[in-house]
Amino acid sequence: MKTRLVIIVILLLVLTVLLTRNDERISDTLLGIINPIKQNYKNITQDIEDKSHSYIFQKESIEKLSRENRILRKRLLEQTHYIKQVKNIYDVLPKLSRLPVHNISISETISYVKLNSFSQIILTKPKALIEDKLYGLIQGTVVAGTAKVHNNQLYGYLTSDNKCRFSVFLGKEKAPGIAMGLEKNKMIIKFIPKWHKIQTGDKVITSGLDDIFFADIPVGIVTKVEVQSSYKVAHIKTYSDIFHPKTFFLINDAKATLAQDFDSNATRLDAPCPVPQNQEHNQSKISVVEHNQTLPVISSIPSRIDQTQEEIIEPETPLEKVEPLKPKKVKNNKIPKKIKPKPSSLDLF
């Protein structure tokens, strides 16, 4: 053990002596041995530092990219849903031209009310709807069901639901009845008078008398007719597609619009004529009544009708100035001479 220590001490002394001496060969040899070791050490530490920085940077970049990815996926989902809505609306817009657009809103399906029921849906609610009032739903150009606002939510009842009820006409004779939802693509029509002839294949349309639908909207075709105690019952196959409830036309007001709110007194003259004050009430006025600022209704009803009184039974004074007729001037002032008759000769004999 002592010999080893002695040998190490001697070697250290030799090294110190060699290093203290300015011998280039020895210094070059030592540098050639030590420099690679230092370079390798430096490379190893630099690699470790780079890897640590890259790991930290990758972690930050991954978190940043994941946040951006979530935002972009959200926007993509919103845009996809928006494009789908636009497509649905453009698909039904050509069919809107067949319906009166003033009293119609577009409503889209949000979801089903129950996951195990395909007959009740929740719809987007247009403005100015009345609570607990029935509204008609049209899918394309056929009846799709009814809708009702309850607890500030618009519920839709398709033709397969028993809460869907409205009045209809059947066949060429237009037999009245009440259509009720039965099951998928089927409805039952009750309270049909017995004397009406209903056959299989007759078409069913809305009557427009229930303030839910317009008249003459297709509903379905009769498949079966039964006779009960006091009326007939018809089973029909509906036209609507209850399994793809996308976009609907919602009828806000099914009342007649041309004759609604007509008032003969609320008129205006397009070209009024000057009339004397005492005869103003006898003058008939041709007026234009505007309804909803869309369709003019021409009326020749006088704005006010009074009974004839004795005070005004007088000939009407002419409104235009009448000039007296002037005698025509004769070009030649010469008056033709009158031919005198010759005296007749007297016969004396």
DSSP result, 28-54: HHHHHHHHHHHHHHHHHHHHHHHHHHH
303: in domain: no
- CB under 8 A, 24+ apart: contacts of 224-230: 224/200, 225/198, 225/199, 225/200, 227/194, 230/194
153: in domain: yes
Question: 79 is in which domain, residue-wise?
Answer: 18-91
- 126 and 225 both lie in a single domain: yes
- 59 and 117 both lie in a single domain: no
310: in domain: no
DSSP letter assigned to residue 342: P
Q: Is the pLDDT of residue 347 over 80?
A: no
Higher pLDDT, 12 or 269: 12
- 28 and 52 both lie in a single domain: yes
- 105 and 239 both lie in a single domain: yes
Q: Is the pLDDT of residue 139 over 80?
A: yes
Predicted pLDDT at 329: 56
Higher pLDDT, 338 or 142: 142
Q: Is the pLDDT of residue 185 over 80?
A: yes
Higher pLDDT, 35 or 316: 35
- The region of weakest confidence among 40-54, 169-183, 261-275 is 261-275
Q: Give the whole-number percent of the chain exceeding pLDDT 70.
A: 66
86: in domain: yes
296: in domain: no
Q: Is the pLDDT of residue 255 over 90?
A: no
- 165 and 57 both lie in a single domain: no
261: in domain: no
348: in domain: no
Q: What is the mean pLDDT of residues 148-170?
A: 94
Q: Is the pLDDT of residue 342 over 70?
A: no
What total number of domains does the chain contain?
2
Predicted pLDDT at 222: 96
Which residue, of 251, 277, 293, is where some domain finishes?
251
Q: Is the pLDDT of residue 132 over 80?
A: yes
